[in-house]
Structure 1
Amino acid sequence: MPRTTLNDLSAEAAAPKRSRRKEARPGELLEAALDLFVEKGFAATRVDEVAARAGVSKGTLFLYFPSKEELFKAVVRENIAGRFAEWNTELESFVGTTSDVLRYCYQVWWERIGATKASGITKLMFSEAQNFPEIAQFYQQEVILPGRALVRRILQRGVERGEFQAIDLDYGTYIVLAPMMFLMLWNNSMGPCSLPDENFSPEEYLRTQVDNMLHGLCIRPGPAATPPPVACCPPPSTSS
């Protein structure tokens, strides 16, 4: 039986480390790319900067992502688009009123997207989509359309259960999405530059928005019976 040497053991110990490092590289590249895309925008971000921040060579980056466009698409899928399957499953299994669904929707969105660096991708798309039509079309297909479809399902649920008024569901989706869009743009533009005494809470803002929204969506009880009018002055007395 061959004898195991210290060199053999060292090689065995080193192999898993190299393997883990190779597997970790795509994740490290996506994290570095997200940081730079949000900080600098799509046009100004260079792939060699992404590789340097991830601690690999530009050649290594191109082994995983053949272009900056494909790198950006992978960032969007990793941080936003890849979540829609999970969210649709949660909606299907949700037990509770549709008002509860909306409140949960905002809470989960804020925790998983709005309060993270991924929210900066929306600001990037608003500012650069017109200059990069291929990226804009990708974002439309992978993020905007699935997002609107999910919100539409929520509103349809409320209408079918008799909880919400029958509204134009296509335009109703924008009512739900507007507060999210505002927060993503605010947090990645004016928010960090706010005055020190401005106490703006994103969580409180979302609670206020959903309260106002539900007051407009929920079916109201019918009007109470109108009491008979009361005479403003007693009728004149009759004398015999």
Structure 2
Amino acid sequence: MNTTDQERGPKFRRRAEARPDEVLDAALELFIEKGFASTRVEDIAKRAGLSKGTVYLYFPSKEALLEGLVRRAILPIADSALTTLHDYEGDPRVVLSMVLTMLAGRFGDPKVMAMPKLIFREAMGFPGLAEMYRREVLDRVLPAVEGLLRRGIEQGYLRQVDPSLTIRSIIGPLMLHVAMAEIFGITPEGGLHMEKLVENHLTILFDGLSAPPSAKQWSAS
């Protein structure tokens, strides 16, 4: 005789609600330890303390697990950035500073920081991951940043730069910083120091991006 979740009580329901995150936590640990290709679903189930069938109940494939990890870690950051960027009027350097500082703070969470590493490792071998990341993150965030830059140029805060190319200058150093550590094993002494990197990056970026002294001024410091 089957027993409903309600009949089993709130403790059972809380456990059932937590299972997707438990599965994702186990998958993240194993993907980092062994790599995506070498990790089996049964390994994930064992690490999570669940049956293989229970894992498939929540995630129909190993690829779905990888996508689930990206959605859990990265989409909230993208949504937060979009909330800040959307229809902002004024000096865009204020918002860029806020968003990059927020991003550095989120990367202080090991579960979040693990995601860029996984994306660098697996995107080439798993085109579906790259397509999903582009669709749900890049295709939403990049137009918002480009619009912010265009308004900043029109209002005299920024130099006459190409907004599309400038986005690469804004994001590029953060991606290269992670890539140098993950792909080449080149890490600053004491760790990645994302907050320090962002602070240093903003100083260099704004000195080059800001409009001439005759225009409105703002400092990253």
Task: Give 1:102 shift.
Answer: 1.4
Partner of 2:3: none
Amino acid at match of 2:175: M
The number of residue pairs the alignment matches comes to 208
Q: How has the CA–CA distance of structure 1 residues 153 and 54 changed in structure 2, closer, same or farther, with 3 Å as cutoff?
A: farther
| Rounded Cα–Cα distance in structure 1 between residues aligned with 2:139 and 2:113 | 17
Task: Establish whether residue 204 from structure 1 lines up as the match of residue 202 from structure 2.
Answer: no
Alpha-carbon distance, 1:105 to partner: 1.2
Is the Cα–Cα contact under 8 Å of residues 34 and 118 in structure 1 kept in the other structure? no
* Residue 153 of structure 2: aligned partner: 159
Deviation, 1:208, is 1.3
Q: Give the match's secondary structure for 1:131.
A: coil
For 1:218, the aligned partner's letter is: S
TM norm structure 2: 0.80
Structure 1 residues 120 and 200, CA, compared in 2 at 3 Å: closer, same or farther?
closer
Aligned equivalents of 2:149 and 2:156: distance in 1? Answer: 11
Q: Contact (CA 8 Å) 1:48, 1:58: kept in 2 or not?
A: yes
What is the TM-score with the length of structure 1 in the denominator?
0.75
CA contact (8 A) 2:159 2:211 kept: yes
* Unaligned ranges ≥5, structure 2: 1-5, 215-221
The whole-number CA distance in structure 2 between the counterparts of 1:34 and 1:127 is: 13
Provide the rounded CA distance (Å) in 1 between the counterparts of 2:145 and 2:109. 20
The C-alpha deviation readout for 1:128-155, integer Å capped at 9, x for no partner, is: 3222222222222223333423432332
1:91 paired with 2:85, answer yes
C-alpha RMSD over aligned residues:
2.7
* Structure 2 partner of 1:118: 112
Q: Structure 1 residues 128 and 59, CA, compared in 2 at 3 Å: closer, same or farther?
A: same
Identity of aligned residues (%): 36
Q: Does 1:128 align with 2:122?
A: yes
| Alpha-carbon displacement from aligned partner over 1:151-193 (angstroms, at most 9, x marks no partner) | 323323422332111211111110010122123334545266x
